[in-house]
Amino acid sequence: MELRVLRYFQAVVQERNISRAALRLHVSQPTISRQLHDLETELGIVLFERGSRNIQLTDSGDYFANQVNQILALTDKTLANIHEEQDISGNIVIGSAEACSFLTIAQTINELQKHYPHIQTDIISTNADQIRTNIKSGYYDFGIVMEPGDKTGYDFMRLPGESRWGLLVTNHSPLATKDHVDLTDLAHEKLIISSQHGMTELLNDWLGGSATKMNVVATYNLLYNASLMVAAGVGSALCIDGIVNTNQSDLTFVPFAPRLTASTSLVWHHGQRHSAAAEAFLKQLSADINQPLP
């Protein structure tokens, strides 16, 4: 299976039409058609539903397309890092949870740019489950995950700062005027919680095993979307402070009592061989937060 053929396949998926893909790639339509047929034969599956003007993917084709996107993204990142210049260039990919401590990472990226202007940093907002998957595959160089969390098989650096857990409510909610919310307040709320693995266990620790009694009406991956659900009246969102700007909005963040905070760590696979760009980032972060590398 050649990378060239995978790029043909990716272009056809994106264009949904072999003719348009051929024009984009500057190759003939029969060449692409023949290569795709050979690819299906090699894989032993049907990738496209043929017959309509615009090509549609089969279920197997849709799965393969997602894998191809990751393969080609990893290939492009690897080639960029291999062909780095003397002053260090290349790409760093960081999967990150939403947290105020990301400011530390942003400041490190800024300092890194001053020394190595040809390094590009790609930030992907996601959850801990996806971070672990993509670090393992090699697509992400690093991940930023919320604590506490299982870091078996990972090296890590604790990032400075903490975020406070609480409830994001509308300004019309009776809870919006309170200094804090507690377990009795949650019992009467429709709740929107993070879909991240381990969230229920974290809440059970805080609530003394009562999380299963909560009225959870929705889950979220990114808090911005959750804030829109809160504004629409779907429910109130359990979240950390400082992610959504509630100034001049119809939303209010009310902290939990007793106090519940979360910290974050930068993680990477134990024994991972870093590119020069990723190694430079780690050294800069270590210096910025005055913390030795593992």
Range of the domain at 149: 88-161+264-288
**What is the per-residue pLDDT for 192?**
94
Indicate if 257 and 169 belong to the same structural domain: yes
Q: Which of 96-105, 190-199, 232-241, 268-277 has the lowest mean pLDDT?
A: 190-199
- The total number of structural domains in the chain stands at 3
Do residues 239 and 203 share a domain? yes
- Rounded-to-integer distance, Cα 168 and Cα 254, Å: 6
Asked whether residue 170 falls in the same domain as residue 253, the answer is yes
State the average pLDDT for the chain: 87
92 and 182 housed in the same domain: no
pLDDT at res. 250: 94
Asked if the model's pLDDT at residue 211 lies above 70, the reply is: no
Strand pairing report for 163-170 and 251-255 = antiparallel
Identify the pLDDT of residue 33: 86
227 and 105 in one domain? Answer: no
Which long-range CB contacts under 8 A does 55-59 form with residues at least 24 apart?
55/12, 55/13, 55/16, 55/17, 55/18, 56/16, 57/13
The whole-number pLDDT of residue 208 equals 65
Which of 117, 97, 100, 101 is CA-nearest to residue 109?
Answer: 117
pLDDT above 90: percentage of residues in the chain: 35
Q: pTM for this one?
A: 0.66
In a domain, 206, yes or no: yes
The answer to whether residue 294 is domain-embedded is no
**Residue 127 burial (10 A CB sphere; 0-12, 13-18, 19+):** buried
Tell me: the pLDDT tens digits for 5-64? 888 888 888 888 888 888 888 888 888 888 888 888 888 988 888 766 677 888 898 899
Residues 11, 69: one domain? yes
Q: Quick one: pLDDT at residue 210?
A: 58
Report how far Cα 127 is from the mean position of its chain's Cα atoms.
Answer: 5
The tens digit of pLDDT for each residue in 109-157 reads 999 999 899 899 999 988 888 898 999 888 999 999 988 777 888 999 9
Q: Give domain status of residue 31, yes or no.
A: yes
